[in-house]
Amino acid sequence: MLVVSGTGTEVGKTVVTAAVAALALARGERVAVVKPAQTGEQPGSTGDLGVVRRLSGVTRTVELARFPDPLSPEAAARTAGQPPLDVAEVAVAVKQVAASADLVLVEGAGGLLVRYDPLGATIADLAAMLGAPVLVVVSAGLGTLNHTALTLEALSARRLLPAGVVIGSWPSRPGLAERANLTDLAVIAGRPLAGALPAGAGRLGRDAFLAAARAGLGPELGGSFRGQCADPH
């Protein structure tokens, strides 16, 4: 079981989730992906799990709640006049899925400490209930070092196991900040980066995406990434 969280929204969590799922599926594992709360999507749209299915080929996906406004799960539920998600019930549902899967990926909404209910439950609390490590997806550019350090510090304070740091979208033409961050993120993590997926990977076909996942994720996630990204400079 693996929880995929990040330093904020739009950092590439869904594409990273799909990449991990694609590699596990290619190894012959039974893979399931759970999205506890989908926000910012109307009923009938495919949402993040649709992206995961298209890119990875995984067919067992579970969305537990959906709210139309692009807000935190707690605020989106409140705005929509719907009951908030119960994180303890989510943990039970995930464990039920895990009973018939080799790998369950749980993709959070926004960052690690985004609120899911009025009492302040977060994806970090869910990871604790599940006893699952947390893969942290980060951006490549300016500001990511502080956000990453804060996220890892929050994991440590809660005695949660980090599964690594992955750059969710590595630009085709990285600037000075991105190139420096490639080194500095590993220093902050205290270990080699667990991957860096190329920008635009979410637009690839399934075979090309699988190749990008293999090249862009580290050995601990089933790939061959060794801390280096293609850099035309």
The verdict on whether 95 is a catalytic residue reads: no
How many angstroms separate the CA atoms of 49 and 111, rounded? 18
What value does the mean pLDDT of the chain take? 95
Q: Which pLDDT score, from 0 to 100, does residue 233 have?
A: 32
Q: From its phi and psi, is residue 42 left (phi > 0), alpha (psi between -120 and 50) or beta? A: beta
Q: What is the pLDDT of residues 143-193, one digit of tens each?
A: 999 999 999 999 999 999 999 999 999 999 999 999 999 999 999 999 999
Q: What is the SS3 assignment for 6?
A: strand
Please state the length of the chain.
233
Exactly one of 13, 35, 66, 115 is catalytic; name it.
Answer: 35
pLDDT band at 230 (very low <50, low <70, confident <90, very high): low
Beta bridge partners of 165: 136
- Please tell me the pTM assigned to this model: 0.94
Q: Where are the alpha helices (H) located in 139-205, listed in sequence order?
A: 144-157, 176-189
pLDDT value, residue 122: 97
Other Cβ atoms closer than 10 A to 211: 12
pLDDT at residue 231 tops 70: no
Contact in structure between 84 and 90 (CB atoms under 8 Å): no
Q: Spelled out in words, what is the top-level CATH class assigned to the domain 2-221? A: alpha beta
CB neighbour class for 121 (10 Å; exposed up to 12, middle 13-18, buried from 19): buried
SS3 state of residue 46: coil
- pLDDT the model gives residue 42: 82
Nearest to 210, CA basis, from 8, 11, 9, 24: 24
